[in-house]
Structure 1
Amino acid sequence: MKGVHLRIYTHESSRHEGALLYEWLLEQARTLGIPGGSVFRAMAGYGRHGVLHESNFFELAGTEPVLVEFIAQPEQADALLDRLQTAGIQVFYARLEADFGIVGMK
């Protein structure tokens, strides 16, 4: 199948409407019918401001980068990005073409 690999980058402690942003994103995607999403916490990373965030003893908890990703139909990815825009949430994202399916199904 053809679709979109949508990757959204944020920080572990980022919040929207009282919820952790990654949880809010998963819930929004679910209500849009996106069949699944995953959240990954990075060991280290930096963004456009060049500030390095790493998971170590001296780093403040919750500042590590988080990747939220979905494989979806293009219209579903558009709808999720529209919800982010409408909510006034500023995050970096990457949208890539994707071939996807399930291996081993008969």
Structure 2
Amino acid sequence: MKGTYLKIYVHETRRHHGHLLYEWLLEKAKALGIHGGSAFRAIAGFGRHGVLHEEHFFELAADFPVEVVFVVSEEEAARFLDVLRAEQVALFYAMMPVEYGTLDGAPSA
């Protein structure tokens, strides 16, 4: 199947309506009927301001980048971004065309 890979970047500690933003994004996507999403915490990264955030062994409080990803239809991606615009969430995202599917685990003939 053809679809869209939607990637959203946020800071780990950023909040929206009192919730961590990456958790809020996953919950909002679920409420919209999107079938799956994941959040991945980076070990290092920098954004538009050029500030490098790196994980160190003894670091307790940090603000690392989190990547929230979805594989959706073009319509679902557009609908989700429209909701985020209406909520006035400021964030960076990337969309790429993707081919996806499932395997049933059965051996090939």
Common topology (TM > 0.5)? yes
Q: TM-score normalized by structure 2? A: 0.90
What is the aligned partner in structure 1 of residue 82 from structure 2? 82
Q: For the residues of structure 2 that align with 1:94 and 1:36, how far apart are their CA atoms? A: 17
Deviation of 1:24 after TM superposition, in Å, equals 0.7
Report the alpha carbon displacement of residue 33 of structure 1 after superposing the two structures with TM.
1.2
User: Structure 1 61/41 Cα, relative in aligned 2: closer, same or farther at 3 Å?
Assistant: same
CA–CA distance in structure 2, aligned partners of residues 52 and 60 of structure 1: 16
| Worse-matched range after superposition: 80-89 or 1-10 | 80-89
Instruction: Please give the secondary structure, in 1, of the residue aligned with 2:75.
Output: helix
Check if 1:67 corresponds to 2:67. yes
SS in 2 for 1:63: coil
Between Structure 1 and Structure 2, whose CA radius of gyration is higher?
Answer: 2
Task: Point out the more displaced range, 33-42 or 59-68.
Answer: 59-68
TM-score (norm: length of structure 1) = 0.92
Q: Does 1:51 align with 2:70?
A: no
Structure 1 moving runs of 4+ over 3 Å: 57-60
Residue 93 in 1 paired to residue 90 in 2? no
How far residue 59 of structure 1 moved from its aligned partner, in angstroms, is 5.2
Match runs of 1:22-33 below 5 Å: 22-33=22-33
How far 1:60 moved relative to its partner? 6.5
Output the aligned Cα RMSD.
1.6
Structure 1 stretch displaced more, 60-69 or 21-30 = 60-69
Amino acid at match of 1:88: Q
SS in 2 for 1:101: coil
Report the Cα offset of residue 7 of structure 1: 0.1
Gaps of 5+ in 1: none
Task: State the identity as a percent.
Answer: 54
Within a 5 Å distance, the mapping from 1:34-45 to structure 2 comes to: 34-45=34-45
* Cα deviation, residue 57, structure 1: 4.9
